[in-house]
Structure 1
């Protein structure tokens, strides 16, 4: 069994199309979507229209939750843009998404961690910035979840960690935004270091699960220009470089 995991598209339709084309060339069994799908500085409505007909197993991320629960004046720029663009049927699609999802008995889809769409699973934020989480921190966040594979997103940083008991946590990285800055719980940046779109394929074989992290080239200069035209120069820099300006 092979599962392609995409996450954190953030309305980047060009990156999404490139990733879906690459996945199609590999003949996987299933594609799953780990949330943060439309909010950003690009094409929320068009991204939803691309994904809805595919009927992928999809969970909501923190941005989907925020779109459904926050008043517009409390939203950040990315959610406000999405809220202004999305149709009612697209919002209904988002509202129907679960927070987490079991795919077969041994695969769990989460956005952040099993208990939170905001907590980083494989990274930790300190007053000094972002760092890789320790094995002990990751085990605590995984808790007693009995899935052999936990697929997560949220940080946009592609990483695979195998716990001592054999459980494996896979973050496929971000399809649509390779770097960002955040202020909570302390100021920090998350950077992939290149502008590629990212996803992962996990494969169940005779010896258990394995994971492959994949990066895909697309026209990120055009995506950056689209973001800048929509008043998001910081997105333009991140899309071109994979770094925070």
Structure 2
């Protein structure tokens, strides 16, 4: 059965609800989240509650690590660090305890799911590993495909006859005909590709395909809530494309 792969919700409840409705309409029951449930957006508590209510498997993202650990705070720039601290204030103790249970990676149906870069990093961006280094990393992966988030971009890096092939992903279905590949699934709640739609991917193992899905939602409502909380204005502005 196909799996819906979501990532980088970033406390955007409107985007999450729209994506869940789209997933339900397609009759999919398996959902995996690649982390960053919280950060930037206005509804961290509600997003965590919704993920728990739906029993969505999730891994830890860098924003979860920041909420959980003072040591991880130093990874963020000053404005984002301040926002992570606000997330701590907005989350209940129970929600924070739940975030502490999230693993750094998951293997499901022989595919790897991680926030940043395989096999377990919540912090390394896919675009930071390039050229021969990326080819070696791809060749050394024990599972394929690997699914990542973190960059908020829709990209595929595939290994073919020892060389890396890169693709920007667009809406629609794509065959996974690479020896090894890493799929960056975009962002539900903080897309940064100029299109305000919430993004996620459906992986069909049986047919060796992914489907990239664009889901419209009321981004202006989310942006207004961000502004009302006094968060940096661009947190809301970049939701609007």
Q: Bigger shift: 192-201 or 73-82?
A: 73-82
Query: Aligned residue for 1:193?
Result: 194
**Cα gap change, 1:78/1:141 in structure 2, threshold over 3 Å: closer, same or farther?**
farther
Query: Aligned residue for 2:206?
Result: 205
Q: Bigger shift: 157-166 or 28-37?
A: 157-166
Gaps of 5+ in 1: 125-132, 180-191
TM-score by length of 2: 0.83
TM-score by length of 1: 0.82
Query: Aligned residue for 1:36?
Result: 36
In structure 1, distance between residues paired with 2:135 and 2:57: 26
Measured against aligned partners, the alpha-carbon deviations of 1:48-76 in whole angstroms (never above 9, x if no partner) come to 11111211111001111111111798671
Q: Establish whether residue 178 from structure 1 lines up as the match of residue 191 from structure 2.
A: yes
Query: Aligned residue for 2:151?
Result: 155
How much is the aligned-residue C-alpha RMSD, in angstroms?
Answer: 2.0
Query: Aligned residue for 1:116?
Result: 121
Asked if the contact 2:59–2:115 (Cα under 8 Å) also holds between the matched residues in 1, the reply is yes
In structure 2, distance between residues paired with 1:230 and 1:72: 24
Alpha-carbon offset, residue 118 of structure 1? 1.4
Query: Aligned residue for 2:216?
Result: 217
Q: Bigger shift: 67-76 or 52-61?
A: 67-76
In structure 1, distance between residues paired with 2:134 and 2:71: 33
Asked if the contact 1:135–1:163 (Cα under 8 Å) also holds between the matched residues in 2, the reply is no
User: How many residues are paired up?
Assistant: 217
In structure 2, distance between residues paired with 1:160 and 1:211: 11
Query: Aligned residue for 2:69?
Result: 69
Asked if the contact 2:148–2:182 (Cα under 8 Å) also holds between the matched residues in 1, the reply is yes
Alpha-carbon offset, residue 143 of structure 1? 5.5
Residue correspondence of structure 1 range 14-93 to structure 2 within 5 A: 14-70=14-70, 76-93=81-98
Asked if the contact 1:162–1:169 (Cα under 8 Å) also holds between the matched residues in 2, the reply is yes
In structure 2, distance between residues paired with 1:170 and 1:42: 28
Asked if the contact 2:8–2:34 (Cα under 8 Å) also holds between the matched residues in 1, the reply is yes
Q: Bigger shift: 48-57 or 18-27?
A: 48-57
Structure 1 consecutive aligned stretches of length 4 or more whose deviation exceeds 2 Å: 71-75, 133-143
Asked if the contact 2:149–2:186 (Cα under 8 Å) also holds between the matched residues in 1, the reply is yes
In structure 2, distance between residues paired with 1:91 and 1:166: 39
Query: Aligned residue for 1:127?
Result: none
**Cα gap change, 1:162/1:14 in structure 2, threshold over 3 Å: closer, same or farther?**
same
2:179 corresponds, among 155, 158, 166, to: 166
Provide the secondary structure at the position in 2 that maps to 1:145: coil
Measured against aligned partners, the alpha-carbon deviations of 1:150-191 in whole angstroms (never above 9, x if no partner) come to 010000001223222612211110100123xxxxxxxxxxxx
Asked if the contact 1:33–1:58 (Cα under 8 Å) also holds between the matched residues in 2, the reply is yes
